[in-house]
Amino acid sequence: MFLLNPKAHQRDYPDDHSRELMLKTIAWFEKRGKRKIKEDDHARAWYSDFLDFVKQEKLFAALLTPSQYGTDENTRWDTWRNCEFNEILAFYGLAYWYTWQVSILGLGPIWMSKNEALKRRAAQLLQDGAVFAFGLSERAHGADIYSTEMSLAPQPDGNYLANGEKYYIGNANVAPMVSTFGKIAGTDEYVFFVADYRQDAYKLVKNVCASQNYVGQYLLEDYPVAEDEILSMGQAAWDSALNTVNVGKYNLGWASIGICTHALYEAINHAANRRLYNMYVTDFPHVQQMFTDAYSRLVAMKLFTLRAADYMRAASLQDRRYLLYNPMVKMKVTTQGEEVIDLLWNVIAAKGFERDTYFEMAARDIQALPKLEGTVHVNIALIVKFIPNYFFDHAEYPDLPKQDQPRNDDYLFDQGPTRGLSKIRFHDYGLAYDLYDLPNIGIFKDQIALLKEFLAMATPDDTQRKDIDFLLALGELFALVVYGQLILENAPIYAIAQALLDQIFDFMVRDFSRYALQLYSKPSSTATQMDYCQRMIRKPASDEGRYQQVWTEHVYALKDLYEMNP
C-alpha cells in the first residue's frame, strides 16, 4: 500500500534499526490515543511527554546527527529515512512535527559550520535529548535577512556582545543552542552564532502563537558571545542561512502528506458508514468524485515528494537540480494539501468542526504549511528563474534510481555558494512524459507544448517579467510541468497502476486549464498570449471504467482500513 497505514505498516527498510525507530514512534502515539492528543491540542499543552520519549529513545540523536559525529553505525542524517519520520509525526499532529522541523533548521547552520567544537556540543546535546532553534526571522522584517537588525559588537578581549530581537522562533523556550543570524556591528558582514536560552541576557518575551508549540520572541541584551561560539561569518553565514532553508522547507511537504493521509482515513470512514436519504454517503456520485480527486492528489503529492528526495540525496556541485524540485515541494505539495482537505471537508461538512475529530486539527493546521519557510509566492518567484534552461537548454545526466541507501547525506551540509541558479541545467523532461501512453498524459503533453511555444513565440516582455502577479500565474503553469515530470519518473519505481496514473493526470489537465485561464485574464496579457492561453484550456479524457476502477480498488478500499486508537 502506497499511503501510510500505521496499523499495517509496510515499508522496505535497509536496516532493522530504522524500522524499529518508526515502529516505536507509531506505537507511542497509538498507545497515547486520539483522545489524549485532542485534549492536549485544545489545552495548548507543551508536549513534554513527547520530548521525553524522544530523549529516551534517542530519536533525534539517531536521525539528525551526521554519521561522523554519531555514536554508532545507526546514526546518520539520511533524508530517505527522515522523510518517513516527518510523515509519521504530522500524521498524528502538526505540533509534534513542528518541534522536529525547527530542530532541523536550528541544526543546519551548526552542521554547515567549520566550528568542530560546536558540532561536537550539538551531537552531545542530541544524545541528551535536546531540541534546537533557528533564530533567523525578526518582527519588523520577517525572513528578509538583508535587513536583519541583530547586532554582534566586537569587544576588546576578542569576544562579542549581541543585541537585538528575534521573532517567530520555534523551540526558543528550551533550545540550548539557538543558531542566531545577525550582522557584525557597524558593518554589512553577516554572522551566525549560538545563543543559550538559559543565559541571563537571553530574554524570552512570549509565545507569539496560540498553540501547543512555543513560537518564541526573544531578546538578546548585551548577550556575551565568545569567539568560539561563532558558527560562520561573511559569505559563509549568508550561504548557510539559505542552504539551511533549502534543507528545512522540503519537510513541509511531508507534513501536508501526513495530515492529509490521516484526514482521508477519518473522512472515508465517516462517509462510508453514514446513511442519508436511504443511501450511504459514499453512494452519491459527487462524493465519489471528491474522494477520488482527493486521493489522486494525495498520491501525486507523495510521488513527487519522494522523487524530490532522490534528487536531494544525489546532489553535488555538478548536479543542483534539487534547487528547483525542493521549493516545488514547499509551494506545490503544501497547496495541494489544502485542496485535499477542502475536498474532504466538503464531504464530511459539519463533522469537520467536531472537537473530538482529528479533522478539526487537520483543517486548521494544513493552512499553516504553505505559509512557513517562505510563502508560496516567494517560492514561485524562485522557480521561474529556472524556466529558460528547463525548457530550452537540456543537459545529459545518468538515470537516477531510488535513493534509499542507508548513508549520510554529506552534501546537504556542504552545498557551496547559493549563487548561479540561472546556470543550473536539467535533463529533458520529455523523457518522463514518454514513459506512458495514456489519454490524459497525452492531453497534458499537448498543453505543455503550447506553454513552451508561448514562451518562445509570445515571450513575456520586460514589464511582464517585473510584474509579480503575471509571473505567479506563469509560475503555476511551469510548476505543473515539473510536478508531472517527477510523478511520472516515480510511478514505475512504486508500481503505480496505470488507471490511477491517468486519473492523476485528469486533475492535472483541469488544473493546467485553470491556470491558463488565470494567465489569460491578467491585465497585461497580450492578444497573442491570450490566444495561446485559450488553446491551453482542455478537457480531460473521460473513461468511466478507469474512474470506477480507481474508486473501487484504491479509494473506497480505504474504508475502515485505519482508525486511531481512542
Query: Is the per-residue pLDDT at 186 higher than 80?
Result: yes
The answer to whether residue 530 is domain-embedded is yes
The answer to whether residue 245 is domain-embedded is no
Name the pLDDT band for 11 (thresholds 50, 70, 90): confident
Comparing 56-65, 288-297, 405-414, 465-474, the range with the smallest average pLDDT is 465-474
User: Which CA distances in Å does 77 have to 62, 100, 235, 457, 499?
Assistant: 8, 13, 25, 46, 36
What are the tens digits of pLDDT across the range 478-487? 999 999 999 9
**CATH number, domain with residue 342:** 1.20.140.10
Considering 12-16, 408-412, 415-419, the range whose residues carry the highest mean pLDDT is: 408-412
Query: Is the per-residue pLDDT at 43 higher than 90?
Result: yes
224 and 200 in a common domain: yes
The answer to whether residue 401 is domain-embedded is no
Query: Is the per-residue pLDDT at 470 higher than 70?
Result: yes
Given this model, what pLDDT does residue 30 score? Answer: 98
155 is written with which cell numbers?
A: 569587544
182 and 121 in a common domain: no
Buried/exposed 129-143: b ≥16 CB within 10 Å, e otherwise? bbbbbbbbbbeeeeb
| Nearest of 335, 316, 290 to residue 397 by alpha carbon | 316
Domain stop point among 111, 127, 143: 127
Spatial distance between the Cα atoms of 477 and 519, rounded to a whole number of angstroms: 9
What 415-421 contacts at long range (C-beta under 8 Å, 24+ apart), as own/partner pairs, is 415/112, 415/239, 415/243, 415/246, 415/315, 416/239, 416/317, 417/235, 417/239, 418/238, 418/239, 418/242, 418/243, 421/323, 421/382, 421/385, 421/386
Q: 57: phi > 0 → left, psi -120 to 50 → alpha, else beta; which?
A: alpha
The predicted model gives 461-473 an average pLDDT of 91
Given this model, what pLDDT does residue 374 score? Answer: 66
Percent of the chain with pLDDT over 70: 100
Angle between helix axes 285-313 and 468-490 (nearest 10 degrees) is 80
The answer to whether residue 546 is domain-embedded is yes
What are the tens digits of pLDDT across the range 232-264? 999 999 999 999 998 998 999 999 999 999 999
Domain count, the chain: 3
The predicted model gives 198-221 an average pLDDT of 97
pTM of the model: 0.97
The SS3 call for residue 162 is strand
270 and 168 in a common domain: no
Asked if residues 97 and 84 have their Cβ atoms less than 8 Å apart, the reply is no
What are the tens digits of pLDDT across the range 335-384? 999 999 999 999 999 999 999 999 999 999 999 999 886 677 788 888 89
Q: What is the residue range of 314's domain?
A: 250-391+428-557
511 and 370 in a common domain: yes
Name the pLDDT band for 219 (thresholds 50, 70, 90): very high
**CATH number, domain with residue 79:** 1.10.540
Name the pLDDT band for 497 (thresholds 50, 70, 90): very high
| Nearest of 205, 183, 181, 185 to residue 193 by alpha carbon | 181
Spatial distance between the Cα atoms of 270 and 217, rounded to a whole number of angstroms: 41
What are the tens digits of pLDDT across the range 125-149? 999 999 999 999 999 988 788 889 9
Mean pLDDT, the chain, rounded, equals 96
The answer to whether residue 331 is domain-embedded is yes
Given this model, what pLDDT does residue 211 score? Answer: 94
**CATH number, domain with residue 194:** 2.40.110.10
141 and 89 in a common domain: no
144 and 113 in a common domain: no
Distance from first CA to last CA of the chain, Å, rounded?
24
178-184 vs 133-135, strand pairing mode: parallel
153 and 57 in a common domain: no
The answer to whether residue 406 is domain-embedded is no
186 and 93 in a common domain: no
Query: Is the per-residue pLDDT at 551 higher than 70?
Result: yes
What are the tens digits of pLDDT across the range 411-436? 999 998 888 888 999 999 999 999 99
Q: Say if residue 165 is exposed, middle or buried (CB neighbours under 10 Å; 0-12, 13-18, 19+).
A: middle
Query: Is the per-residue pLDDT at 540 higher than 90?
Result: yes
Domain stop point among 127, 143, 174: 127
Provide φ and ψ at 180, rounded to 5°.
-115, 130
158 and 34 in a common domain: no
* The amino acid at 430: G
298 and 446 in a common domain: yes
Domain stop point among 181, 208, 233: 233
361 and 315 in a common domain: yes
Spatial distance between the Cα atoms of 184 and 234, rounded to a whole number of angstroms: 9
Given this model, what pLDDT does residue 466 score? Answer: 87
The answer to whether residue 418 is domain-embedded is no
178-184 vs 190-195, strand pairing mode: antiparallel
439 and 319 in a common domain: yes
Given this model, what pLDDT does residue 373 score? Answer: 66
Spatial distance between the Cα atoms of 355 and 302, rounded to a whole number of angstroms: 28
H-helix or E-strand containing 310? helix 285-313
